[in-house]
Amino acid sequence: MLAFLREWREGSGNAERMATSLALHAPGKLRFAQRDGAAFALVPGIWGNPALTPGKGAVPALLPSGDRVLFTGWFDNLPEVARQLGLTSPDPAVVYGHAVERWGDETECRVIGAYAAVIDRPRLGEVRLARSPITAPPLHYHRSAGMVAAACVPRALIALGIPAELDEDRVAMHLHAMPFDRPGGWYKGIEALQLGMVVNVTRDGERRSRPYSLESVPEVRLGSDREYQEAAEALLAEAVDRTIAGYRQPGTFLSGGLDSSIVASHMLDRMPAEKKLPTFTFLPEEGWGNEVNPVFFPDERPYVEAFAAMHPRIEAQFVDNAGKGFEDGLDELFLLSGMAPASLPLIYPYHGMFAAARSRGCDLLVGAGMGNTTFSNDGMRGYVEYLHQFRLRDVWRALSGRWHDDRPVWRQFVSLSLIRALPEPLWRAWCRLRRIPLPDAGAVAGALNPGWLGLADLERAARAADASFDRPFYRSREDEVASMARQMDADAFDLMQGLQQRFGIAYRDVTRYRPFVEFCWGLPTDQFLRGGETRWLARRMGEGRLPEAMRTEQRRGFQHQDWHLRIGRRREALLAELKSMRENPKVARLVDCDRLIGLLENFPESSTTDLDLAYQYMIAVPNGVAMGRFIRFVEGTNV
């Protein structure tokens, strides 16, 4: 993690306070330097390469030109870039600085990895800020007449004296359960730079560019199904190899699904033959009730145990967070991340898994968070795409394989292909005519006050970013890729960085490896949806790696089926808290306290398989409570 301050005017900020705040989670690791009106702070560990110990490399790295580089993160292709530049240094800060001198903003297209970087250029009176595409540490930015400052966490900038005044637009976006990548930030005067953004700042202004874009990934065309599979497996293996290199004891999150288990099997291939792989699986708490929608399975244990039996080096650990709820750990993450994204109250299972990994001695946790949008895509955009391509036989075969849909295939064809292919105004008119409720994620999972004045603008922006906010489906590869590219972050990296700070363990998602993402997003739809079978590529990649029952399972895991137990035992306390929040003008303006209070006052006697009702308790109630707490946390009024 890094923090940087360049004072245009002496006395504009307290650099030592900034550095101390940055190192709140690990004060003993802080490396800090001040020179010529600039301050550089670095806390190695959670984002860095373990092969580069804190004792190696200067902070900041000094280039022959006089430029000074502050870098946090990693290169996946460091040796290749260093060779192209004729360098022998293993320090990514040095290599990155030389790359920028050689290639300018095109560096972000050539360097593959996850990083945030600041280059101070005293000779030019300029500061360059950059955040890598696809995956990156957060980078928050402030510019004023007196200074330019940047840090991986907002608290380090607030320590400079910048007021902690929340930006309601950002708060509302997450409260409405419609998060997407957008300019701005959680605090007025502090911008959260978007992925891939480069900002060159001077005393008089700034120049911005975003040289790399995923929105127009070209389609990949290979000669055979086998070639597609082999290429995907080779890239995933490469991602795993580059991810775990240098770590002493990797561990991984493991579910009963396809993505994480295939990744775990590749980790075993690339670890020493005698080394165990600890895995961590979240389970529902005992006594949760066993009510489950038929398209999901709630308990991952049977499949994980079968996978572990197939691979004896798997050391499976199960965590149920007994007695815990979504509120546990919120205050720590408020402090460490400086925000409360919509996903915050849903990640409490990870607290137990991070803690278990720390106890086991892991220094890295590997995830497969983008599996469903890369190699394990279900391909259901084909219902419309195949129709547009006049591939009627493929449409029919795809629909006939819908195991959970008991309608005749011709009715599925009308509903899922013909009607969805209509232009949006006609599709909406059809839904009104047939009295089909239009999708409204905010009304189900959101907790935003419907009277908030910016609601209409927020919904328009969200729907422009992602077609599925408006229609719960995609109609082509291009449609899906563009939407996914606009949601690559949505403040999720800040949240995961908070967990990494709290537990002192690095986390890396191998399915965000750039060449792998580019390849998977370029694949034709029939690599994912073939002959009625969804997730076709992942199922082929699982052959010989997964138990057959696991590989062919059509249902998906569902981690929060025990919501009724966990919320029910704290219902009275949550009711009292929401009623107290309702008296706070700032909270009441944003959080729909009355609706959430009504949901808890009419709490169902048992769990339900009705997903629209379940999501209100699983997502809307926790989201509203967490955001209300966060607003009061920032105000300093939490009880």
Task: Using a pLDDT cut of 90, give the percent of the chain over it.
Answer: 77
Token representation of residue 59: 């902070």
Instruction: Give the pLDDT confidence of 395-431 residue by residue, as tens digits.
Output: 999 999 888 888 999 999 998 999 989 988 898 888 8
Q: Which of 320, 318, 294 is nearest to 308 (CA)?
A: 318
For residue 20, pLDDT over 70 is answered with yes
pLDDT band at 55 (very low <50, low <70, confident <90, very high): low
Predicted pLDDT at 52:
58
What region does 79 belong to: left with phi over 0, alpha with psi -120 to 50, or beta?
Answer: alpha
**How far, in Å, are 129, 187, 201, 500 from residue 192 at the CA level?**
12, 9, 15, 19
What is the four-CA torsion angle of 436, 440, 444, 445, rounded to 10 degrees? 150
The residue to which tokens 């925000």 are assigned: 339
**How far, in Å, are 126, 219, 222, 229, 292 from residue 521 at the CA level?**
37, 8, 14, 14, 32
Question: Which CATH topology does 2-209 take?
Answer: Glutamine Phosphoribosylpyrophosphate, subunit 1, domain 1 (3.60.20)
pLDDT band at 53 (very low <50, low <70, confident <90, very high): low
CATH match for 225-375+489-557 among 3.40.50.620, 3.40.50.12280, 1.20.1740.10, 3.40.190.10: 3.40.50.620
Predicted pLDDT at 6:
95
> b/e string for 271-306 if b means 16 or more Cβ within 10 A?
beeeeebbbbbbbbeeebbeebbeeebbbbeebbbb
Q: State the amino acid at position 153 in one-letter form.
A: V
Residue 489 CA, chain-centre distance (Å), reads: 5
pLDDT, average across residues 148-168: 96
Mean pLDDT of the residues in the chain = 92
Predicted pLDDT at 574:
96
pTM, to two decimals? 0.94
For residue 374, pLDDT over 60 is answered with yes
**Contact between 170 and 181 (Cβ < 8 Å):** no
Instruction: Give the pLDDT confidence of 211-244 residue by residue, as tens digits.
Output: 998 888 899 999 999 999 999 999 999 999 999 9
Distance (Å, rounded) from C-alpha 141 to C-alpha 143?
A: 7
Q: Which of 317, 592, 303, 569 is nearest to 447 (CA)?
A: 592
**How far, in Å, are 24, 176, 187 from residue 630 at the CA level?**
19, 15, 13
Q: Which of 441, 502, 367, 439 is nearest to 174 (CA)?
A: 441
The residue to which tokens 């560990």 are assigned: 45
DSSP-based helix, strand, coil % in the chain, nearest 5: 45, 15, 40
Q: What is the DSSP string of 174-193?
A: HHTT-----S--SBTTBEEP
| DSSP state, residue 219 | P
Is residue 535 helix, strand or coil? coil
Predicted pLDDT at 51:
67
For residue 54, pLDDT over 60 is answered with no
Cα Rg, the chain, nearest whole Å: 25
Length of the chain: 639
pLDDT, average across residues 180-209: 95
